[in-house]
Structure 1
Amino acid sequence: MEKLIGEFSLGLFFWQSLLFILLLFLLRKYAWKPILNAVNEREEGIKDALASAENAKLEMQNLQADNQKLIQEARAERELMMKDAREIKTKMIADAKDEAQAAANKTIANAQATIQAEKKAAIADIKSQVATLSVEIAEKVVKQELSNKDKQLELVASMLKDAKLN
């Protein structure tokens, strides 16, 4: 340090100071402004990027909320459709049961009517056969017992009195 103080030159100090000031002036005029402008532009770009990121984050949250709302609506609609399908299924089953019951009742009624008709036909047939047999038996019995005419007339008269109309 003593050597520097001992060799100090005022002229050299003046020129060095002048060159340093000139260098600062030139740096200020040609380097600092572009550097500061670049730094400011970079800072603005970063601010814009952060704002865009924040907007994207908010938009993403809104989209997620909308998605959740759509999912809830879809679930509600699905539940409504399932409920409607269950009701339709129940109604179809009830209608099918009613229809089957009506068809069974109609079949039973037809069967009963057929049975009644066949029963009446069978009774009529039996009556006819009984009447035919009765006439044949009576004819044979009458031939043997009623050989004379007075007994025949008396028998016919008593039968006419006893006869009942059906």
Structure 2
Amino acid sequence: MDLITPEFGLVFWTLITFLILLFILRKFAWKPILGAVSDREDGIRNALASAEKARLEMQNLHADNERILQEARAEREAMLKDAREMKNKMITDAKDEAQSQANKMIEQAQVAIESEKKAAMAELKSHVAGLSVEIAEKVVRQELSNKDKQLKLVEDMLGDAKLN
């Protein structure tokens, strides 16, 4: 038997065996194998779609996070601005109140000074009137025959009078 030149019977039976094997494989193995490959392909396709969907969701979440972060920053800035404005208003109000109080105190002091001034003037007038009456009494009591004597008397009395 020569292996290089096969006989017709060997080729025939090999071909029959191959066809039977092919039929059996097609009947029982090809459908499950092709089904498994198809299922695997669908699984991979679904996994890729899910991964793409997850990636898009991550991008959306990242964009939402950025938007929320920007909103939080803007809100913080607005709150800080409001706080600064409130602080400035409080300082301005306190300054205005202090100025108002100072003006009231100055006005009251001026009224008190004016009142004291009027009281002092009234007392001074009263004192001057009393001195005038004393001088007049002394002048009347003395003899006033001589003009030089009268002038000397007035000068002496004015020198004796002490204004408080």
Q: What is the TM-score of this pair, normalised by structure 1?
A: 0.73
What amino acid sits opposite 1:3 in the alignment?
A: D
**Partner in structure 1 of residue 3 of structure 2:** 4
**1:116 equivalenced with 2:120 (yes/no):** no
CA distances 1:88-135 after superposition (whole Å, capped 9, x unpaired):
333222222222211111111000000000111111122222222332
Q: Distance in 2 between matches of 1:68 and 1:5?
A: 77
**1:140 equivalenced with 2:143 (yes/no):** no
What runs of 5+ residues in structure 2 fail to find an aligned partner?
Answer: 145-164
Aligned length: 144
Q: Alignment partner of 2:38: what SS?
A: helix
**Partner in structure 2 of residue 47 of structure 1:** 45
What amino acid sits opposite 1:47 in the alignment?
A: R
Q: Alignment partner of 1:56: what SS?
A: helix
What amino acid sits opposite 1:119 in the alignment?
A: K
**Partner in structure 2 of residue 28 of structure 1:** 26
| Offset at residue 62 of structure 1 (A) | 1.9
What runs of 5+ residues in structure 1 fail to find an aligned partner?
Answer: 147-166
What amino acid sits opposite 1:144 in the alignment?
A: Q
Q: CA RMSD in A?
A: 2.4
What amino acid sits opposite 1:39 in the alignment?
A: V
Q: Distance in 1 between matches of 2:139 and 2:85?
A: 78
Q: What is the TM-score of this pair, normalised by structure 2?
A: 0.73
- What percent identity do the matched residue pairs reach? 67
Q: Relative contact order (alpha carbons < 8 A, sep ≥ 6): 1 or 2 greater? A: 2
